[in-house]
Structures are given as C-alpha cells and as structure tokens.
Chains A and B, each alone.
Chain A
Amino acid sequence: MSGQNQVLEIGSSPHVTSGASVDVIMRNVFFALLPVCVFAVFAFGIAAALTLTTATLTCVVTEHVICRLNRKPTTVGDWSVAITGLLYGLTLPPDLPLWMVAVGAIFAVAVGKALFGGLGCNAFNPALVGRAFLQAAFPQAMTHWSLPFAADRFSELPGSILAFPFAEPVYDAVTAATPLARMKFEAIQAENPDLLWGLTSGSVGETCGALILLGGAYLVARNMMNWRIPVSIMLTVSLITWVFMQIDPAVYPRPAFMLFSGGLMLGAVFMATDMVASPITNAGCWVYGMLIGGLVVVIRFWGGMPEGVMYAILLANAVSPHIDFLIQPRVFGTGRGAG
C-alpha cells in the first residue's frame, strides 16, 4: 500500500455478516416442500403433477410480469413466489380444472402479494388468499375430491382437469369424501395410520402428515422456521378437542384425528409460519398459534364447513401486527428486570 492513490472504501460497521440470505432461506423452504409434492404425485397421479406445475408456474410468471409492468427488476430470484405457488397448489383438490388453478394463482400473487407491496409486505399468506378466492368463486369445484391411489392415476387424466374455462366441469364417476366431511356428516373417524401416511382423500398436499412434519423438522433444524407456531397450534387443538371428547366421545373426535385430518398439518407447519404474516416475538408466536388452534376447532365443530384451517390462519394473519404491538418483549433494564 502506501501508494498515494490508495482507494479506501468506507462503510458502516459491522463489517462482517453471518452469510445468511433471504433467497437461501426461501430455497430451503421450497426444498422442504418437495417430499410432500412427490408424495402428492404418487397418491393422485398426473392430475396432482399438473396442478402443482400450473400453480407454481402461473405464480412465478405473474410476479415477473407485475415487476416488469412496474418497471422494476424482477423479484422471482428470491424464491418466495415459488413457495407461494407450490403451497397454493398443495391446498387444491387434485382434480380442480387447471384454468381455475391459474386464475387463483394470479389472484394469489397479484392481490395477495403485489398489491400489498410485494415480499415482506403481505398481510396475509398469499397462497391462502388465492385459495380463499377460489373457495368463494367456485365452491362446488373446491369441494370435489377424487380418490387417492386410483389404479389409472398415471394413465388417465380426470375429465374435469382440462375443462374449458367458464364451462361446467364434468367429473368422473368416482368421488370421495374427505375424512373431515365424513366426520362432520356421517360421524365416521378415519384411522390414525391412514391419516399419518396419507391414505385418505383430500387436497393435493395435505394428506401425508408424516412428510409435512419431516419438512418442518428440517426447517426448524436449520433455524428457518419458528417451531413455536406449529407446536402452539397443535397443542391448542389437541387440548380443546380432548376436553370435548371427554364430554361426548360420540360427537367429538379424538385429538389425533383433528391434528392429522384436513389441512391442519400443512397449515400449521407451512402456512401459519409464513414469517411475513406471523408475529416476530416468541411470545407473540405462542398467542398467534393458540388463536389459530382455537379458531380451527370452533369452525370445525360448530361451523357450517367441515374444514376451517384456511380461514383460521387468514384471520390470525390479520391480527398478527396487533399481537406484535401488544406483546412486546421486556426491554433490557426496564420493568421487573431493572436494578
């Protein structure tokens, strides 16, 4: 050195960083979802593969186009929209017409994410915004379930999948009820192993609780997910369900059924934990999880619909900023700790 023209760069400390990066976190969440996706295709065949591909690609293209329309660099590279796409696809019925899948995906990204200001600003989980839109727009198609492990799932495509936009989809003869619907309307509870290993009917990615838990465990191990949220949801649901089961076992299901049926696992592990739309403090996360758990039980037990995870999470998303404001950590040197 000592050269007279030494160029020195100035910068604000710290001059070192941990190396963590948003795109790395997002990529890991995406990878954690892949086992669930592989199982979905195994259980529901080509229909699931097409649903997931359409959902993800439409979401990614929508975000890219919106960025371009705003004359901003594309944000597709941060991988968050790919997660939205995949998660959204996993919540849909396997034989939903693909044009509906695409419409919901556009809504999820355009309204659920871009309108709020993009990554970091979405008040609600965008994937669930898309699904809620479909639920309102196409209630019949959104409650039509096909049987898992159909013999012809890798050779035949369900007729409804390629339905012409805005035409009435034609469903094949074989349909099934989800475990929650059977519970609600016929009072039949599915067996635990069937629920754990995903042998029941349901949305593309919600059936196999074991693989969802595996993905969650991976993210928790890598410090990319706050485990308090799913744990709080599951504990709350189990506890309330257990209490009601003691009161009347004929009407109310057992806790394990509640945990592994419907979208609870997928919702608790991958949806409610959307960092942007959940509280930032650990205490806040416990409260947020309890709120979701409580709402799920209320909707499932006494609501008109068999399933309530989606609405429970969306409602809790709306409350999340208030939880953050109300439950602030005690600052060092204030309150009981001072002195």
Chain B
Amino acid sequence: MLGLAHNDSFSHGIHPPEMKDETSHLSIRRFPFAPLLIVPLSQHLGKPAVPVVRAGQEIVRGQVIAEADGFVSVNMHAPASGIVKKIALAPGIGGNMLESVYIEPYPASSQEVQDGEPCDLDTASADDIIGAIQRAGIVGLGGAAFPTHVKLKPPEGKRLDTLIINGVECEPYLTTDHRVMLEQTADIFNGIRYLLKATGAAESLIAIEGNKSDAARKLHDECPSDLPVSIRVCPVKYPQGAEKMVIRSLLKREIPSGGLPADVGAICVNVATTAEIGRLLPRGHGIQERVITIGGPGVKRKGNYRIPVGTTVRFALEEAGAAKDISRVFLGGPMMGPSVSNLDIPITKGTSGITAFTTVQINEATGHQKIYPCIHCARCVEACPLFLNPSQLGILAKNEEYDRMVEDYHLMDCFECGACSYVCPSHIPLVQYFRLSKKMIRKLGAAQ
C-alpha cells in the first residue's frame, strides 16, 4: 500500500463486519459537561487512588483529586471545575459499587485546564518520565486500563528492544484510534519520544490495520526523520489488536503462555495512550477526558467525541441521540465490550466506546438463537488465535471439570476475544462459559 511495508499476520482469527464507515470520517468533537460527573477512584487495574479532596471543596479542571496508592495505581484529575458534592459508592459496569468522587461542574465551567509541573523530554531521566506518566494518571486507553508506567518498567533481567504502538483497533464500530492517528499525529510522535526514552527500546513500530490506510499514510508522511519509527500495515483480521497477536504479526515472536510482552523483548502501548503521553506530559496535565466512539444502530448522531471522564452513559446517549428501541448498550465494541445493566454508570479511562443495539440487532444476535449441541464442526478451533480447543473447553465447562480445563486445555491463556462464540453454528456461548469457569477456578483456588 503506497510504498508502506505490508505485514504478516497471526494464524486463525475471524472477519466480522467492520462497521467503521459510519464514524471513521467524523472528526473528534468536544462533549459538553454533564450536570453531574462521577469519577471512580478505581478506573485502572491495581489499587484504587486515595482521594485528596473533601465534600464541598471547590476544584479546578485538571487538579489532582486522588493520588496513586503505591506503584500499581495512578492519579485522578478533576474533569471539570466545580464543587465536590460527595465521595460515595457509585455503580460500576458489573453492578459492583465503586468509591467515587461526585462532582457538580459550574454551569460555565471552561475548558481551561490547570497547568501542572511539565516533564521536559530533554532533561528528564527514564525514571522521571515513568513517574510523570503515573502522575498524569495514564492507563491503557485501548480498554484494558492497565497503568502504563508499570509496563514501562520491565521485570529484572528483561531488556526491551522494540516499542510497538498499537493502532490496530480491530473491534467493529470503534474508530477512536483511527481519528486520533489522523488528528493527533504530532502528539503520537512526541509520545513515542517519551516512551523510547523511558524504556530504552531502540526502535518503534506503529501497527495499523489495512482499513486505516489514510492514517498509515499520514503517519508515514509526517514522521520526523530523526525518529526510529516504521509504520506496519497488518491485514484486517480480528483480533489483530490483541497484544499477543500484534506482537506475533510484527515481530514473529510469541509471548510465552502465562508470560508478558517483556519476555520477548517487546512492549505494546495503545496509540491513543501514546498520543496522550505526548500531549499531556509537556504541560504537566493529567487525563481528565478521553476520545470515545458513540455508535451502533441505536445512536442517531454517531461520532467520535472527546468526553470528560465521569460522564454517565445516560448523558452521553442523550447528547448523541439514542433510538427509542435501544435494547442493549455495551462499552467498547461488540466483540469484547461488556453490556451495561444501568445507564447511570460513568465513562472511565478504559472506555473506548459506547455502542447501542436496538431490538432488531439483538433479535438476530447471541442469546436469541436456538442453542444446539456441539457438532464438532471445528470452526472454533479454526478461529481461536491461541490454538485452543474451545469445543472441548465448552464441554468441560459444562461438566465443571475445571482442573482439566486448566491443565490439559490451557484455559487461562484465553483472553476472551469472542472469536469462538462468533463462529459457533450451535450458538454455544463459549466465552461466557470460559469467563464463568475462570471465576469459579479463582474462587475455588481462594477457598483452598
């Protein structure tokens, strides 16, 4: 493609309809402040942040409202200027209650952000950058919400040689990374400079799927000549964006079962995360908003929005105009996005999109189709990017043979991409079985 290196891909995988055309051409727009913002103290994997504000306190947009508790934790920043109403429990995606800061923005709250202590690329050491990334509250924006600074410090004895910037975005409907690559190109390169310095990696690769050739072209053309970056265009295939798959595709290295990217000398950072690092660190700002795609057939004004963290899904859907008959709303894309039971949950740093389906899509999708017994058609085996045997795992899950699932069939390697459920002609909810099994295994393990 236009002189850009075509890349290999991983084995297996699926081709669900991409559904990206509806929003991929729409520029990122700002979202208004909701009358109430709910900022959970735990938006990342690891320990929740500790609040440093009290009820009734006046806060300024960009101000730190909660501080990291230990290394695997990050700061939280005020998404808007206003008053802290209370610090109390608020519902999260799974129905669990999370300690959150309730903020009432001033009606005329400006978009101005309070400046913090900048992190100068030229003078900062690797540890300075890692500390600045933690202070900026940066977590993986691709969905995992793992604190980015933790990844940058490889375990003792491991050396990182390649920094992979993941702009694959293989989930259907989502186009945030696509837009960020087009609109924040300079931020991305700036972010790469910080990341290369922090990790000591010699070179950097930007992975993009073939359906975003305009972004690949733009990154290629605008790449500063002194930066060791090359753009790699991967074939369109789900789940190309998964860390294991993208590293396999680009470097032909397999992360060992149960291992980390550092085990193969690589580190993988989402492209939007990289752009935020490049945008925030020079100003000493923190993440208090993020870009999400609001889309799906149940949304009238689909698009990509820069939305304050803590905005409720309900407010977001009201602003974007939801259809009357929406019946399932999920955060992220349709392959891996968890569905919400309550629209009053907040958008967090890990939310990459809101997709709404109406009764029409739901009637023809999972859960409404007749479930047949497994006929060993092997489509799941052919789809699984990790070469697992979902058919056998499904049978074992039904029989509650958890030990065999783990020991003989590597259940714990499964990252729940959903490819097996997608292709199953018997409509067996395989991924749901696997999630439940993993929960049971953890529970049984804890009980022992």
The residues of A with any CB-CB pair to B shorter than 8 Å are 1-2, 6-25, 78, 80, 118-121, 223-224, 226, 275-276, 278, 280-282, 324, 328-334, 337-339
Contact = CB atoms under 8 A, between A and B. Distances in A.
A224 B264 CA distance: 38
Contacts of B341: 8, 10
A17 B326 contact: no
24 contacts: A1-B322, A8-B327, A8-B340, A11-B367, A15-B334, A15-B335, A15-B355, A15-B365, A16-B16, A16-B17, A20-B423, A21-B427, A25-B375, A80-B375, A120-B373, A120-B374, A120-B375, A275-B378, A276-B376, A280-B376, A280-B378, A281-B381, A331-B413, A339-B263
Contacts of A330: 387
B377 A324 contact: no
Interface in B386-422: 386-389, 391-392, 410, 413, 416, 418, 421-422
B379 A20 contact: yes
B377 A334 contact: no
B366 A11 contact: yes
Contacts of B366: 11-12, 14-17
Interface string B133-158: 00000000000000000000000000
Nearest to A21: B425
A280 B392 contact: yes
Nearest to A25: B425
B169 to A, nearest CB: 16
Contacts of B365: 15-17
Contacts of B378: 226, 275, 280-282
Interface residues of B, number: 77
Contact of A275 (B255, B376, B387): B376
Given A15-B355, A18-B423, A280-B381, 10 more contacts: A1-B323, A10-B340, A11-B366, A13-B330, A13-B416, A14-B336, A15-B362, A25-B425, A275-B376, A339-B264
B408 to A, nearest CB: 8
Nearest to A336: B254
Contact of A331 (B317, B324, B410, B424): B410
Closest 10 A/B residue pairs (Cβ): A120-B373, A14-B418, A12-B432, A20-B425, A332-B386, A333-B257, A1-B322, A22-B372, A15-B334, A338-B256
Contacts of B17: 16
Given A9-B327, A280-B392, A281-B381, A18 B14 contact: yes
Given A8-B343, A10-B341, A330-B387, A15 B374 contact: no
A289 to B, nearest CB: 14
A95 to B, nearest CB: 34
Interface in B346-376: 355, 357, 361-362, 364-367, 369-370, 372-376
Contact of B421 (A9, A17, A282): A17
A9 B244 contact: no
Interface string B201-212: 000000000000
Nearest to B418: A14
B322 to A, nearest CB: 4
B385 interface: yes
Given A1-B324, A10-B341, A339 B253 contact: yes
Contact of B372 (A119, A280, A281): A119
B275 interface: no
Given A14-B431, A17-B369, A331-B413, A8 B329 contact: yes
